[in-house]
Chains A and B, each alone.
Chain A
Amino acid sequence: DQQVKQNSPSLSVQEGRISILNCDYTNSMFDYFLWYKKYPAEGPTFLISISSIKDKNEDGRFTVFLNKSAKHLSLHIVPSQPGDSAVYFCAASDAGNMLTFGGGTRLMVKP
């Protein structure tokens, strides 16, 4: 069973607009959530995280929102830039143990 799901395999956005990537989870024991970005031929790079005691965390152009009641988190990128084009993975952990990843969303930002 997939405990972390990213239902959109791809997303296309115009440069300068907002990109919204979504992630759903089923395990209520998850208490820490992360977003990673991956370029081809490279390993995933940590982007931003949020603890379950918060509902929002912001870092520059990146903001992660957590809705615990809906078991849903989202990553907002504003404004989107062509260099943001990559595959984005959300991940969750339970008490600092191994990460469970979603299937990824490929973001394409068009100039």
Chain B
Amino acid sequence: KAGVTQTPRYLIKTRGQQVTLSCSPISGHRSVSWYQQTPGQGLQFLFEYFSETQRNKGNFPGRFSGRQFSNSRSEMNVSTLELGDSALYLCASSADPPGSGANVLTFGAGSRLTVL
């Protein structure tokens, strides 16, 4: 069974640009979450999608957005990039819908974004 796949693994952008990151969940998983990992802030929740609907959103500015497609694949977009957006962006999938109880997430390897 293939794991969570994230593309691209590494990318470099400059301030003001925008970026789109992609995530393919484990086959059969319909819940996809995104987290940002930075050295100072640890893992911070960005948003969670289930059945193409955003179910939860973290405390990030509107420059951060996401969506989920009918095949459960998800993308996140960051517009008008700032230096502080440099981070490892992690996608995770779960077989369980949000609020269903135990929530064990399976993470991908992440997309490392560097903003210059």
Interface residues of A, Cβ cutoff 8 Å to B: 32, 34, 36, 41-46, 49, 51, 89, 91, 93, 95-104
Interface residues of B, Cβ cutoff 8 Å to A: 4, 33, 35, 42-45, 48, 55-56, 58, 90, 92, 96, 98-110
- Shortest Cβ gap from B100 to chain A (Å): 5
Q: Which residue of chain B is the closest to A46 with respect to CB atoms?
A: B104
Quick check: B42 and A97 within 8 Å, CB to CB?
A: no
User: Given the known A-B contacts A97-B56, A99-B45, are A45 and B99 also in contact in the complex, defined by CB atoms under 8 Å?
Assistant: no
Quick check: A43 and B48 within 8 Å, CB to CB?
A: no
Quick check: A95 and B101 within 8 Å, CB to CB?
A: yes
Quick check: B42 and A98 within 8 Å, CB to CB?
A: no
Quick check: B58 and A98 within 8 Å, CB to CB?
A: yes
Q: Which residue of chain A is the closest to B3 with respect to CB atoms?
A: A43
**A–B complex contacts, Cβ < 8 Å, 15 sampled:** A41-B109, A43-B4, A43-B107, A43-B109, A43-B110, A44-B107, A46-B106, A51-B102, A89-B42, A97-B48, A97-B56, A98-B58, A99-B33, A101-B35, A101-B42
Quick check: A98 and B107 within 8 Å, CB to CB?
A: no
**Which of A49, A100, A101 contacts B104, CB < 8 Å?**
A49
**Which of B45, B96, B100 contacts A98, CB < 8 Å?**
B45
User: Given the known A-B contacts A43-B90, A89-B42, are A99 and B106 also in contact in the complex, defined by CB atoms under 8 Å?
Assistant: no
Cβ contacts under 8 Å, A101 to chain B: 35, 42-44
A45 to B109, CA, bound (A): 10
Quick check: A102 and B42 within 8 Å, CB to CB?
A: yes
**Which of B92, B103, B107, B110 contacts A93, CB < 8 Å?**
B103
Quick check: A96 and B107 within 8 Å, CB to CB?
A: no
**Which of B35, B90, B99, B106 contacts A96, CB < 8 Å?**
B99
A103 to B35, CA, bound (A): 13
Quick check: B103 and A32 within 8 Å, CB to CB?
A: yes
